[in-house]
Amino acid sequence: MWFECYCGHSIHDTSDAHYFKAHAVTDKRWLPFWDAIDKAIETHWNSDFERESACMALRRPGYSTMMLYQCSECARLYIMRNDGELIVFRPEDNDTPRNLFDH
């Protein structure tokens, strides 16, 4: 996936471990997300396939997270909702770090 920032910079999400990308879990989904992880770990599954399927379901985009992207040129923050809509926020000033997620 890729899109163009309002400043003209291209944002590419074609692999893992990007410094400009983050996953956000809303507070409403925080505890249910961890409950689902516990269930996937603690349940006695009938097969390795069932266990693996339960774990992989948690990794599906949109299960409990939203994707966040920050433009490295202008520091705009993009939030991709679970329905695919991109919402953009522009920093108040030019001193905003361009690497908010690179910690």
81-102 residue pLDDT tens = 878 889 999 999 989 999 988 8
Distance CA 86, CA 24 (A): 14
Three-state SS at 101: coil
The 8-class DSSP code of residue 92 comes to S
13-66 residue pLDDT tens = 877 778 788 888 888 888 888 888 888 888 888 888 988 888 887 776 556 678
The residue ranges of every structural domain in the chain are 2-89
Angle subtended by helix axes 48-59 and 27-42, to nearest 10: 170
